[in-house]
Amino acid sequence: MTDRIVLAYSGGLDTSVAIGWIGEATGAEVIAVAVDVGQGGESLEDIRQRALACGAVEAYVADARDEFANDYAMPTLKANALYQGHYPLVSAISRPVIVKHLVKAAREFGATTVAHGCTGKGNDQVRFEVGIQTLGPDLKCIAPVRDLALTRDKAIAFAEAKGLPIETTKKNPYSIDQNVWGRAVETGYLEDIWNAPTKDIYDYTATPEFPPAPDEVVVTFKQGVPVAIDGIAVSPLQAIQELNRRAGAQGVGRIDVVEDRLVGIKSREIYEAPGAMALITAHKHLEDITIEREQARFKATVGQRWSELVYDGQWFSPLKRSLDAFIEDTQKYVSGDIRMTLHGGAAIVNGRRSDTSLYDFDLATYDTGDTFDQSQAKGFIELWGMSSKVASTRDQRAAGK
Please check if 70 is assigned to a binding site: no
H helix intervals, 209-347: 236-249, 274-290, 293-311, 318-330
Please check if 24 is assigned to a binding site: no
Please check if 16 is assigned to a binding site: yes
- Residue 114 three-state SS: strand
CA distances to 82, 305, 328 from 301, in Å: 12, 6, 15
CA distances to 17, 19, 162 from 153, in Å: 11, 16, 14
Instruction: Check if the beta carbon of residue 248 is closer than 8 Å to that of residue 205.
Output: yes
Please check if 43 is assigned to a binding site: no
Nearest CA to 48 among 33, 64, 69, 26? 33
Please check if 11 is assigned to a binding site: yes
Q: What are phi and psi for residue 238, nearest 5 degrees?
A: -65, -35
| Catalytic choice (50, 95, 246, 352) | 95
Catalytic residue status for 175: yes
| Catalytic choice (14, 48, 268, 352) | 14
- Residue 182 three-state SS: strand
Please check if 267 is assigned to a binding site: no
Surface-to-core class of residue 145, CB atoms within 10 Å of its CB (0-12 exposed, 13-18 middle, 19+ buried)? buried
Please check if 56 is assigned to a binding site: no
Distant-in-sequence, close-in-space partners of 233: CB < 8 Å, separation ≥ 6: 227
Catalytic residue status for 357: no
Q: How far apart are CA 73 and CA 82, in angstroms?
A: 12
Catalytic residue status for 3: no
Catalytic residue status for 65: no
Please check if 335 is assigned to a binding site: no
Please check if 202 is assigned to a binding site: no
| Catalytic choice (66, 146, 175, 317) | 175
Please check if 46 is assigned to a binding site: no
| Catalytic choice (124, 246, 307, 352) | 124
Q: What is the 3-state secondary structure (H, E, C) of 26-87?
A: HCCEEEEEEEECCCCCCCHHHHHHHHHHCCCCEEEEEECHHHHHHHHHHHHHHCCCCECCCE
Distant-in-sequence, close-in-space partners of 143: CB < 8 Å, separation ≥ 6: 115, 116, 117, 118, 119, 120, 125
Please check if 345 is assigned to a binding site: no
Nearest CA to 128 among 340, 4, 267, 314? 314
Please check if 388 is assigned to a binding site: no
Please check if 175 is assigned to a binding site: yes
Please check if 13 is assigned to a binding site: yes
Residues of the binding site for L-aspartate: 119, 123-124
Which residue ranges make up the annotated binding site for ATP?
8-16, 117
Catalytic residue IDs: 14, 95, 124, 175
Provide the annotated binding site.
8-16, 87, 117, 119, 123-124, 127, 175, 259, 271
Residues marked as binding for L-citrulline? 87, 123, 127, 175, 259, 271
